[in-house]
Amino acid sequence: VKTIADAMAAEGILQPETAAATDTAPYDLTRDPPRYPADRDQRLQALARGDEGFLLSLSYSALRGWGGDHPLCGEVRMGE
Tens of pLDDT, residue by residue over 24-72, are: 788 888 898 888 898 888 898 888 888 777 877 777 777 766 656 665 6
Q: Give the model's pLDDT for residue 75.
A: 57
Mean pLDDT score, 5-15: 84
Q: Are the CB atoms for 26 and 41 separated by under 8 Å?
A: yes
Residue 31 DSSP SS3 = coil
Evaluate if residue 13 carries a pLDDT over 60.
yes
pLDDT over threshold 80, residue 9: yes
Angle ∠(17,22,23) on CA atoms, nearest 5? 50
45 CB burial (10 A radius; 0-12, 13-18, 19+): middle
